[in-house]
A and B are shown apart, each in its own frame.
Chain A
Amino acid sequence: MKDYTAKVIANEKLCDGAYALMLETEGMPEVKGGQFAMLSVPPADRILRRPLGIVTADDRTCSFIYQIKGKGTEALTRLTFGDTVEVMLPLGNGFPKIECERLAVVGGGFGVAPLYLAAKDNADKEVRIYNGFATKSQIMLEGLFSEAGKLTVCTDDGSYGFHGFPTQALESELDEFRPQAIFCCGPEPLMRAVKRIGESRGITTYLSLEQRMGCGVGACLTCTCKVAGHNKRVCKDGPVFLSTEVYE
């Protein structure tokens, strides 16, 4: 974990309300799927950094997707080629590299961000990816994810791919695919549904949680969540937790 001054090399609109940001810096550290970064945002009166899941990373670049949620992320959209930002990474525990043969990856909306690297980290397994979006115009990273496993893109309204939630797509293949582990990141209702599916079938399930964050390194205790009955830090103890320990 280190704080880098990075150069913006791309910041483009991906689809409705979604942007992709690519940064470049010398000596990018190795990043595990599911880890995140804390980015400084441009307006001086917004002092907190923004936590963003890392989509791709190599030895000199890393990329992110983000949506406009407030003033900070809105300001991020104004970054252009050559601008510099402070970026602290890699943070958090990330998804584990687990011993199994078949892995299901379930993502919803912007929650797909950290799952690409998580799937790639497990390329020695049969990986099936179920990514869900509200509608066709909001689908993200289809090309990228199709490199990391067998991808099923789902839309809630049926405008593209599988008509329904990614959990329904997963369930329709469970008996045939028999995954031994599930990785999930997305809105809370999706993660709760994946938790139910995984636990009812005895499948080891990992969920990547989101929380408003302060420091990103475990010091300020503002991003806590209940893990096995105790407050744990999403930024440092997580963001990835076993499903059996969260959302009780």
Chain B
Amino acid sequence: MNTAVKLCGHTLKNPIMTASGTFGFGREYDEFYDIGRLGGIVGKGLTLAPREGNDGVRIAETPSGILNCVGLQNPGVEYFIENELPFMKSKDTVVVANVAGSTVSDYERIVERLSDTDVDMIELNISCPNVKSGGMAFGVLPSGVEEVTRAVRGKCRKPLIVKLSPNVANIADNAKAAELGGADALSLINTITGMAVDLKSRKPLLGNVTGGLSGPCVKPVALRMVRQAYKAVSVPIIGLGGIESAEDVLEFMLCGATAVQVGTANIHDPYAALRIAEDLTNAMKKYKITDVNELIGALIEG
């Protein structure tokens, strides 16, 4: 049985990656299991300078999901290169750096800096809903997506993944814009903007008023968007949004994903990503799949 997939010139031993912001830089979860057993690991979103993130309440729960508004708290790209990247690279897995910025020039500089390192791929976060200048300005309209992708492409000497926001009018248009701008792969979906209300105080529950919704409740939206993006572009797609099981992985692959990212599941189950990766062959056996690659995009419609 084959679980290995090819993504931007790298071979992932299985299609399971971790989603940025849910896995730190891997250290916390490496205390539970060898994170080298995953196909890939994606680090916390990085900015040029360290960021403290948002004040106030940063997490709320909703049926089958959570809302967060961390606001890109991170130690900055230089700290990452010196202190976190060597650890990540010591693991037998594909290492992805996730980056965010407030201006095109921020994105260019951080990507240029990371291109000088041994990081395997760069994921461009143009869709963080929790900071005013977290790239969301670029992520909404296809023209913005194309502009920032093209600018970054010019500076990027690593495979470039563009992470798309679901908070848009037409995901297919944004996917095409990223491809046109030079993306080597797309990842979707980032979180869906939402709110939680504290009835007692009559105030928004989250410090940032709005937050990003994730978890099993967003999976149907994510599947739909992965499918629409898959039909619109020819670059590979990394699917994410509420993945909790190996069956979920197979569903995303059928819709068009070459690989997937496990996010919120890590937060409530420290073994989630490994459990899903290890269960993949069982699920494949159950559905008579000998090679996961045969599933990619193979959804039978109509």
Q: Which residues of A contact B (CB under 8 A)?
A: 1-3, 40, 44-49, 72, 86, 88, 212-215, 217-224, 230-231, 236
A222 touching B68, Cβ below 8 Å: yes
- Which residues, 1 to 45 on B, are CB-close (under 8 Å) to A? 21-24, 28-29, 31-32, 44
**Dominant secondary structure at the B interface:** loop
B58 touching A212, Cβ below 8 Å: yes
- B302 contacts A by Cβ under 8 Å: no
B73 touching A220, Cβ below 8 Å: no
Residue from the list B23, B28, B57, B66 in contact with A48, Cβ < 8 A: B66
B64 touching A221, Cβ below 8 Å: no
Apart from A219-B267, A220-B68, list 15 A-B contacts with CB within 8 A.
Answer: A1-B31, A45-B64, A47-B65, A48-B61, A88-B270, A212-B57, A214-B68, A217-B29, A221-B24, A221-B58, A222-B58, A222-B59, A223-B58, A224-B58, A231-B53
Closest to B263 in A: A220
**Looking at chain B, what size class is its interface with the partner chain?**
20 to 34
- Separation of A216 and B51 alpha carbons in the complex (Å): 21
Beta-carbon contacts of B54-84 to A below 8 Å, as 1s and 0s?
0001111101111010100100000000000
Residues of A within 8 Å of B65, CB to CB, are 47
- Which residues, 102 to 157 on B, are CB-close (under 8 Å) to A? none
> A47 with B31: in contact, given A3-B271, A219-B24, A221-B58 (CB under 8 Å)?
no
- B52 contacts A by Cβ under 8 Å: yes
Residues of A within 8 Å of B66, CB to CB, are 47-48, 214
The minimal Cβ–Cβ distance linking B264 to chain A, given in whole angstroms, is 7
Residues of B within 8 Å of A44, CB to CB, are 64
- Separation of A222 and B72 alpha carbons in the complex (Å): 11
B53 touching A221, Cβ below 8 Å: yes
Residues of A within 8 Å of B270, CB to CB, are 3, 88, 215, 217
Residue from the list A218, A222, A230 in contact with B52, Cβ < 8 A: A230
> A221 with B32: in contact, given A48-B66, A49-B268 (CB under 8 Å)?
no
- Separation of A72 and B61 alpha carbons in the complex (Å): 10
The minimal Cβ–Cβ distance linking A204 to chain B, given in whole angstroms, is 27
- Separation of A222 and B58 alpha carbons in the complex (Å): 5
- Separation of A213 and B57 alpha carbons in the complex (Å): 10
A-B contact pairs, 16 of them (CB 8 A): A3-B32, A3-B270, A44-B64, A49-B268, A212-B57, A212-B59, A213-B59, A215-B268, A217-B270, A219-B28, A220-B22, A221-B44, A223-B58, A223-B59, A224-B53, A224-B73
